[in-house]
Amino acid sequence: MLTKNRSFILILLLLSLYSKEIISETLEEVVVLGDWRQTSPDQEDSSVVLLDANTIEAQSTNHFEQLAYLVPNLNFAASDSRARYFQIRGIGERSGYQGTPNSSVGFLIDDIDYSGQGGIATTFDVDQIEIHRGPQGSRIGANALAGLIYIKTKDPTDEFEVAGEITLGSYGKRSTGFAVGGPLNENKNISYRLALSQDKTDGFRKNLYLKRSDTSRKDETTSRFKMNWQMNEKTSIKLLISLVDLDDPADIWTLDGSLNTLSDRPGMDSQKTNSYGLKVFHNFNGFDLQSLTSSTITEVIFSYDADWGNKESWNPFVYDYFSETLRDRKTVSQEFRLVSNEVDLANGEKIEWILGVSYSEIEESNLKNDDGNYSEPSDPYGPYFSQSSSSSNYKSENFSVFGNLGYFLSETLELSLGMRWEDWQSDYVDTLGDSFNPSNDMTGGKVSLIKNLEIDASLFASIAKGYKQGGFNLGLGLESNSLNQNLLYDPEYLTNYELGVNSKILDSRINLSAVIFYSDRKDQQVFISSQVDPSDPNTFSFLTKNAAEGLNYGLEMNVNMDLNESLYIFANLGLLETEIKNWESRPDLEGRSQAHAPKRSYAVGLNWKPAKNYFLRLDVTGKSSFYYSDSHDKQSQSYSLTNLSLGYQEHQWKAELWVRNVFDSYYSVRGFYFGNEPPNFEDTLYERQGDPRYFGASLQYDF
């Protein structure tokens, strides 16, 4: 509480000191890009948060994981090196899957789908990030039951540009980034952009047993090439090649919740992804034909020291377990859209429409190897060794037909209708004898009304239906397939109701948006786990089933204020209530809040220019407590984090000193409750601490 009070006192002090005589940067108008059309934020019919390039650069971070704190009702679960799984309004996966690789939160980068692979989201040379809260059934489909995270990197420009940055910080942080682009010919109809970045850090943890401070280091490299070709007035082609290499060891979990690990075999949480995208746009009379083609090739190494200790820490017991999974994934996607021209009310054109089809395919293979041994000093027959190896192959195909119709009932009132039908087919087989081929036909959609008011404001009301495909759980072999009725589970559906307002006040110096939402979850997919053998941490059993209904409702508000030419303030608030309902097999959890759904989350901050060329940025973000899992009742503690930076800008150069987590707050981003300490293996809450205080300096050049 003291830390939180100091943060707000600091904000109030700075507000009282601002000067009205300093000229600020001109704020560029932003548009929403993650929809079929580019629209102004005040014309959106759902809850959207936009993080522009200035906001992204101001955070002095190189990954979306840290930016997520700025968005209320967005949470993430970081079990290992990077957060791959996100929750919007309390809905979303929390850990790696065992069975169908479903996702509740869509994750697109440059219109390429990386759902369930959020660790790939480095942020150098990123132009805009959008978080669409609420189901995106008509826009995305099965991967966006809870919402969509859409990242747009910077495009080639008609003029030559060069940008670069260097960052040095505590814990061995050193980051570099370089981008160059512009026209390739005199006509300027072919342009390119090349962006290269590397982020390295030794990590925040120290392995006391190995006497090393780099067993949780990060070495993340991103290479991206874009080329745009304007063939003629009607046709354009956009090419994208992206290579991301995340070489991140994973020595994360500790027995006492500190930053000091004891592992003798640190794990790995690495990912290499090569992505290729091709977009073709052609204008006909009255509509555009859009073709979006993409392909990704991903290699993942996921391993961990399952006992979190070493022979000395467990002496006189022998307790040593390790797990490794090698994952290869390939995806192919093709989408065709017909997008009409925008309405022209002056000429009596009141209808705009979209019609499209999409196809996507996933092929994935997993090779898992577990080993370990255990014995007690009084056991004359020990130690007992265990070793297992299995492989699996998974393939799925999704085919969708979608459309949207917008009709202006008047010059200030628009009715919008959207729908998507999706067919999902899958096939799974492994060396343990499991074999599944579930399939689902699913439909989702949205209907909304937008009313533009004369006072530079708009109101909207919407009803949206989202869905998430069903799937399977891994059993014990061929015999279990016919005996265990819980091996297969059905799709989950969510109906979301929203009322919202978008308003510009005082000549657009204050932008206000507020949304009230109510979501009804049917056939809710609940993920629970249990440990089969208390002495073997590799014997966790995971089960997903349609176990409950649920309610998720609350309020989201965003306020941006240009108080004068030198001071900009923002405040984002999220209030969330969730409830588990009608869970027959777990009546003890009925009425309880859902996991990873904090009731309050917020982000407030300011950008201030106290003197010519100097600037100061401050933000405070926070979350209330939340349940870690649906399998137990253990909760996190509420927390707030303060970030501060001071900089100097002269022409194209910018120098900045920054501190993240100024007051070195302890907070947890993930928690497990199970037994991992011999000989009694009593259930214990283990929490993963978030990043401690760290600081650094950055130098940027933009020409």
- Measured distance CA(124)–CA(515) in Å, rounded: 31
Query: 487-531, pLDDT tens digit by residue?
Result: 888 999 999 999 999 998 877 788 899 999 999 999 888 777 655
pLDDT band for position 129 (cuts 50, 70, 90): very high
pLDDT for 137: 86
- Measured distance CA(91)–CA(144) in Å, rounded: 10
pLDDT at 318 over 60: yes
Task: Give the residue-averaged pLDDT of 181-191.
Answer: 93
Contact between residue 235 and residue 282 where contact means Cβ atoms under 8 Å apart? yes
pLDDT band for position 346 (cuts 50, 70, 90): confident
- Measured distance CA(218)–CA(62) in Å, rounded: 11
pLDDT for 541: 62
Dihedral pair phi/psi, residue 480, rounded to 5°: -70, -20
Q: Greater confidence, 116 or 668?
A: 668
pLDDT for 529: 65
**487 SS3 class:** coil
Looking at the chain, the whole-number percentage of residues with pLDDT higher than 70 is: 91
pLDDT for 95: 77
Contact between residue 642 and residue 667 where contact means Cβ atoms under 8 Å apart? no
Query: What is the overall mean pLDDT for the chain?
Result: 88
Specify the long-range contacts of residues 487-492, CB closer than 8 Å, at least 24 apart: 487/436, 488/436, 488/438, 489/525, 489/544, 489/545, 489/546, 490/440, 490/523, 490/546, 491/142, 491/440, 491/442, 491/467, 491/523, 492/145, 492/467, 492/468, 492/521, 492/522, 492/523, 492/524, 492/525, 492/546
Query: 577-603, pLDDT tens digit by residue?
Result: 999 888 777 788 888 999 999 999 999
Task: Give the residue-averaged pLDDT of 401-410.
Answer: 95
pLDDT for 259: 93
Q: Which CATH number do you get for residue 647?
A: 2.40.170.20
Task: Give the residue-averaged pLDDT of 132-141.
Answer: 90
Domain count, the chain: 1
Q: Write the CB contacts of 627 (distance below 8 Å, at least 6 apart in sequence).
A: 592, 593, 594, 595, 596, 597, 633, 634, 635
- How many CB atoms neighbour CB 38 within 10 A? 10
pLDDT for 100: 76
pLDDT at 19 over 80: no
Task: Give the residue-averaged pLDDT of 474-498.
Answer: 70
pTM: 0.91
Contact between residue 227 and residue 195 where contact means Cβ atoms under 8 Å apart? no
pLDDT for 530: 58
Contact between residue 540 and residue 525 where contact means Cβ atoms under 8 Å apart? no
**225 SS3 class:** strand
pLDDT for 15: 41
- Measured distance CA(575)–CA(553) in Å, rounded: 8
Range of the domain at 653: 2-702
Beta strands 206-207 and 260-261 are: parallel
pLDDT for 132: 94
- Measured distance CA(103)–CA(97) in Å, rounded: 10
Query: 150-164, pLDDT tens digit by residue?
Result: 999 999 999 999 999
CA distances to 129, 240, 276, 279, 587 from 292, rounded to whole Å, are 20, 11, 11, 5, 47
State the Rg of the chain over Cα: 26
Q: Write the CB contacts of 112 (distance below 8 Å, at least 6 apart in sequence).
A: 240, 242, 275, 277, 294, 296, 333
Task: Give the residue-averaged pLDDT of 75-90.
Answer: 86
Task: Give the residue-averaged pLDDT of 329-356.
Answer: 93
Contact between residue 541 and residue 564 where contact means Cβ atoms under 8 Å apart? no
pLDDT for 254: 92
Query: 675-702, pLDDT tens digit by residue?
Result: 999 998 999 999 999 999 999 999 999 9
pLDDT for 545: 79
**345 SS3 class:** helix
Query: 639-666, pLDDT tens digit by residue?
Result: 999 999 999 999 899 999 999 999 999 9
| Residue 356: HSE in the Cβ half-sphere, 13 Å Cα cutoff | 28
Query: 597-638, pLDDT tens digit by residue?
Result: 999 999 999 999 999 899 999 999 999 999 998 888 999 999
DSSP 81: S
70-74, 96-100, 115-119: which range is least confident on average?
96-100
